[in-house]
């Protein structure tokens, strides 16, 4: 039994790997156990939304993903004809990046290895137990048994999570009623529009470029056969015929990279934390593929948990901060469940009343305020955390509508007149204190916080309304200090 690790992450997909990255960045000893011997080559997820790109930008690696994907400022909601317009959103990344999951996973794994994460493939976890001060993980590597003890563990091991089952956490929700077939193919007769959705009496069709410049992803629901078991074999001929009936002509798909069936099953873990063990990603929530949100929400789960867990391990925060992982992220899982079920309902009903409803809602999306609200919701930019992480001290305020608010990587005017952006100050996983009253542009306090000195009266937006602002390592505002409270740089978590 080895006990050389602080945290064992079970599951080496994008979510588990990103959690490991965050822990290793904070100098936490972390081990990733993955049952597969090789990286996944199939790309279930195709979409990186803007907030996930911000997560990568917060750690200085967004360009790695941008250089290999295809950005698109519009995205579909429930397959409605009117696309969501991300171009108006307040971010350096006002778009969706089409990038195969296999590429996303490879890039995150490369980051993990750079940070020294120990990744062990071919390790099937079979038992997870915990006691007052540790977690015990046992399993097999081929025929060889293994065992690890760690202070904490995280299950990022997918929809059939062994960790969730070991903890007897209920996975409540809605069973499957419809089946959607997805295929990554080359098209000999592609449509003129690069992103296309179509719903009519024959069924539902969604089409988008895969991001590699060669293949497209086709998703279809056949109105004449709305449900097939996910395990039932599917052929390219079946996909081609269904797409042709809906689209009105043969798109001539060929050379399939991957074909699979998905359902509208939707489930949410009853809790995200049991004492020393946490759930993230598909282990905590599964949803229909509408909106391409699942992997994105999972990576954002990992971003939320990583720095909190590291803070407790290093003794800079009390254990109660770990409860905020569930209180902050489970409501996001609930919202994701409602969002994806609503979208699937729009995409999977083909009778005249349902089609009339689609036309009406598509018209509503041409109203800028409605489009903006759903764009914020789908992209992840609209996530805000209402409760404070810790009690405010030393004149700090928890200001409703500000605390818990996401900050984009906006321009900063520093005290000496130079300019910078926010995210580089958060790049190493520290907090940032933005304030008008300080002697230098940036310094470190107790290796936990960067102090950034701003020029008086020179910054706009939220930064211009307060004397100082404490920013979490994940880019959300923790607390602010009014003008008459300026001067103190004390920080207590």
Domain boundary among 263, 281, 310: 263
- Please, which residues have CB within 8 angstroms of residue 337's CB and are 6 or more apart in sequence? 173, 266, 268, 285, 287
144 and 270 both lie in a single domain: yes
CA pair distance 124, 338, nearest whole angstrom = 33
Distance between CA atoms of 64 and 95, rounded to whole angstroms? Answer: 16
**d(Cα 266, Cα 288) in Å, to the nearest integer?**
6
375/324 same-domain check: yes
Is residue 92 domain-shared with residue 21, that is, in the same domain? yes
Residue 12 sits in the same domain as residue 143? yes
Q: Provide the angle, in degrees to the nearest 10, between the axes of the packed helices 50-58 and 294-313.
A: 30
pLDDT at res. 447: 59
Token pair, residue 117, equals: 């994460």
Of the candidates 181, 239, 195, 231, which has an alpha carbon nearest to the alpha carbon of residue 70? 195
User: Are 15 and 78 contained in the same domain?
Assistant: yes
Residue 487 belongs to a domain:
no
- 321 and 425 in a single domain? The answer is no
Q: How far apart are CA 282 and CA 464, in angstroms?
A: 40
Secondary element (H or E) of residue 244: helix 236-247
Q: What is the CATH number of the domain that holds 356?
A: 3.50.50.60
Report residue 75 as tokens.
């995205």
- The total of other beta-carbon atoms located within 10 Å of residue 35's CB is 19
Residues 333, 339, 343, 345, CA torsion sign: positive
* CATH assignment at residue 446: 3.40.30.120
Q: Are 151 and 137 in contact (CB under 8 A)?
A: no
Nearest to 279 by CA among 396, 159, 131, 106: 159
Would you state the pLDDT for residue 394? Answer: 55
Q: Are residues 26 and 40 in the same domain?
A: yes
Phi and psi at residue 306, to the nearest 5°: -55, -55
Q: Does a structural domain hold residue 391?
A: no
Domain match, 59 and 94 both = yes
* pTM (2 d.p.): 0.93
Q: Write down the pLDDT at residue 393.
A: 58
Structural domain of 232: 179-263
Strands (E), 26-92: 30-34, 47-48, 70-72, 74-75, 84-85
The reply to whether 165 and 189 lie within a common domain is: no
Distances (CA, A) of 44 to 170, 274, 356: 25, 29, 31
Q: Please tell me the predicted confidence (pLDDT) of residue 459.
A: 87
pLDDT at 111: 98
Check residue 314 and give its pLDDT: 95
What is the model's pLDDT at position 458? 87
What's the CA gap between 319 and 312, in Å, rounded? 6
Domain containing residue 205: CATH number = 3.30.70.2450
Q: How far apart are CA 175 and CA 179, in angstroms?
A: 11
Among 9, 32, 80, 37, smallest CA distance to 358 is for: 80
* 164 and 270 assigned to the same domain: yes
289 is a domain residue: yes
- Of the candidates 212, 231, 263, which is a domain's last residue? 263
d(CA 297, CA 307): 17
Q: How many domains are contained in the chain?
A: 3
pLDDT the model gives residue 490: 42
Is 206 part of a structural domain of the chain? yes
Q: Assess if residue 424 is contained within a domain.
A: yes
Per-residue pLDDT of the chain in tens (493 residues, 90 and over written 9): 677 899 999 999 999 999 999 999 999 999 999 999 988 777 778 899 999 999 999 999 999 999 999 898 989 999 999 999 999 999 999 999 999 899 999 999 999 999 999 999 999 999 999 999 999 999 999 999 999 999 999 999 999 999 999 999 999 999 999 999 999 999 999 898 878 899 999 999 999 888 677 889 999 999 998 788 888 888 999 999 999 999 999 999 999 988 998 899 999 999 999 999 999 999 999 999 888 899 999 999 999 999 999 999 999 999 999 999 999 999 999 999 999 999 999 999 999 999 999 999 999 999 999 999 999 999 999 999 987 776 655 566 777 768 899 999 989 999 999 999 999 999 999 999 999 865 555 554 455 789 999 998 888 887 888 888 999 999 999 988 876 544 444 444 4
Residue 492 maps to a domain: no
In a domain, 205, yes or no: yes
* pLDDT value for 228: 84
Mark whether 110 and 248 lie in a shared domain. Answer: no
Q: Among the three residues 263, 288, 306, which one is the final residue of a domain in this structure?
A: 263
Closest among 362, 386, 387 to 374, alpha carbons compared: 362
Do 354 and 233 have their domain in common? Answer: no
Report d(CA 474, CA 54) in Å as an integer.
Answer: 9
Which residues are paired to 145 by β-bridges?
A: 140
């Amino acid at each position: 039994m080895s006990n050389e690790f602080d945290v064992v992450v079970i599951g080496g997909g994008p979510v588990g790997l990103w959690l490991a990255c965050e822990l290793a960045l904070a100098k936490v000893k972390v081990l990733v156990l993955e049952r597969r011997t090789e990286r996944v080559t199939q790309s279930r997820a195709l979409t990186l939304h803007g907030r996930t790109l911000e997560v990568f930008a917060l750690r200085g690696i967004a360009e790695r993903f941008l250089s290999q994907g295809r950005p698109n400022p519009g995205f579909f909601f429930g397959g409605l004809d009117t696309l969501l317009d991300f171009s108006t959103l307040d971010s350096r990344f006002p778009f969706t990046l089409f990038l195969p999951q296999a590429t996303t996973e490879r890039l995150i794994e490369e980051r993990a290895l750079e940070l020294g994460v120990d990744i062990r493939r071919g390790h099937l976890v079979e038992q997870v137990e915990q006691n007052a001060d540790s977690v015990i993980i046992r399993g097999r590597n081929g025929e060889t048994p293994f065992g690890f003890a760690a202070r904490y563990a995280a299950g990022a091991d997918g929809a059939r999570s062994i960790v969730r089952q070991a903890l007897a956490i209920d996975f409540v929700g809605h069973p499957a009623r419809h089946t959607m077939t997805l295929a990554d193919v080359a098209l000999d007769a592609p449509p003129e529009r690069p992103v296309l959705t179509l719903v009519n009496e024959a069924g539902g069709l969604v089409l988008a470029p895969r991001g590699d410049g060669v293949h497209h992803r086709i998703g279809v629901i056949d109105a004449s056969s709305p449900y097939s078991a996910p395990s039932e074999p599917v052929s390219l001929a079946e996909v081609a015929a269904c797409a042709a009936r809906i689209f009105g002509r043969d798109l001539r798909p060929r050379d399939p990279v991957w074909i699979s069936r998905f359902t509208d099953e939707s489930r949410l873990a009853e809790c995200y934390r049991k004492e020393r063990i946490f759930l993230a990603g598909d282990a905590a929530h599964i949803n229909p593929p509408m909106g391409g949100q699942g992997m994105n929400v999972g990576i954002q789960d990992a971003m939320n948990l990583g720095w909190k867990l590291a803070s407790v391990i290093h003794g800079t925060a009390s254990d109660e901060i770990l409860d905020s992982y569930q209180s902050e992220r489970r409501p996001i899982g609930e919202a994701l469940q409602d969002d994806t079920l609503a979208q699937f309902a729009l995409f999977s009903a083909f009778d005249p009343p349902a089609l009339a409803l689609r036309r009406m809602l598509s018209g509503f999306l041409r109203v800028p305020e409605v489009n903006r609200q759903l764009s914020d919701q789908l992209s992840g930019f609209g996530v805000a955390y209402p409760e404070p992480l810790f009690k405010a001290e030393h004149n700090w305020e928890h200001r409703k509508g500000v605390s818990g608010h996401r900050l984009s990587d906006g321009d900063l005017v520093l005290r000496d007149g130079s300019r910078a952006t926010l995210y580089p100050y958060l790049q190493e996983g520290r907090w940032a204190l933005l304030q008008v009253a300080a002697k230098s542009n940036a310094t470190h306090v107790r290796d936990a916080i960067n102090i950034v000195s701003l020029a008086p009266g020179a910054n706009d937006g939220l930064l211009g309304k307060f004397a100082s602002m404490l920013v979490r390592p994940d880019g959300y505002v923790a607390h602010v200090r009014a003008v008459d409270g300026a001067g103190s740089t004390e920080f207590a978590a």
